[in-house]
Homo-oligomer: A and B are copies of this chain.
Amino acid sequence: MVKAVIMAGGRGERFWPQSRIAIPKQLLPIVSEKSMLQETLARLSPLVRAKDVLVVTRSDLAKEVGRQLPELPAENIIQEPMGRNTAACIGLAAVSIEAREPDAIMICLPADHVIGEVRGAGTRDNKRFLEVLRVASKIARQRDSLVTIGIKPTRPETGYGYIEIGSKCKTQNAKCRIYKVKQFVEKPDKERSGEFVKAGRYFWNSGIFIWRTSVILGAMKEYMPELFAGLEKMRKALGTPEESRAIIEVYDSLESVSIDYGVMEKANDVLVTEGDFLWDDVGNWQASERILLKDGQGNVCRGETYKLDTNDCIIVSDKGLVAALGVSNLIVVRTPDVTLVCPKARAKEVKELVRRLAEDAKLRKYIE
Contacts and interface: CB of A to CB of B under 8 A. Distances in A.
B341 A325 contact: yes
A105 to B, nearest CB: 43
Contacts of A357: 306, 323
B308 A320 contact: no
Determine which residue in A17, A306, A320, A323 has the highest number of CB atoms from chain B within 10 A of its CB, and name it.
Answer: A323
A325 B350 contact: yes
A18 to B, nearest CB: 13
A341 B324 contact: yes
A340 interface: yes
Interface string A337-368: 11111110010011011001100100100100
Interface residues of A, number: 35
A321 B304 CA distance: 19
B308 A323 contact: no
5 contacts: A306-B356, A306-B357, A317-B339, A320-B366, A325-B350
Contact of A342 (B321, B324, B343, B346): B324
A343 B321 contact: no
A184 B35 CA distance: 62
Nearest to A326: B346
Interface string A307-321: 010000000010111
Contacts of A322: 338-339, 341
A229 interface: no
Contacts of A366: 320-321, 323
Interface stretch (A124-132, A230-238, A327-335): A327-335
Contacts of A363: 304, 306, 321
A304 to B, nearest CB: 8
Contacts of A350: 325
Given A320-B338, A321-B338, 11 more contacts: A17-B321, A304-B363, A306-B360, A306-B363, A308-B356, A320-B336, A323-B341, A325-B346, A325-B349, A326-B342, A334-B334
Determine which residue in A322, A336, A339 has the highest number of CB atoms from chain B within 10 A of its CB, and name it.
Answer: A339
A353 B320 contact: no
B308 A349 contact: yes
The 6 lowest CB-CB distance pairs between A and B, nearest first, are: A325-B342, A320-B337, A326-B346, A339-B339, A334-B339, A321-B338
Contact of A330 (B338, B341, B353): B341
A321 B337 CA distance: 6
A319 B339 CA distance: 10
Contacts of A324: 340-342
A334 B321 CA distance: 10
A327 B344 CA distance: 11
Interface string A1-37: 0000000000000000100000000000000000000
A360 B334 CA distance: 21
Nearest to A343: B326
Contacts of A320: 336-339, 366
A39 to B, nearest CB: 28
B341 A308 contact: no
Contacts of A337: 319-321
Determine which residue in A17, A340, A341 has the highest number of CB atoms from chain B within 10 A of its CB, and name it.
Answer: A341
A308 B323 CA distance: 22
Contacts of A340: 323-325
B353 A308 contact: yes
A319 B338 CA distance: 9
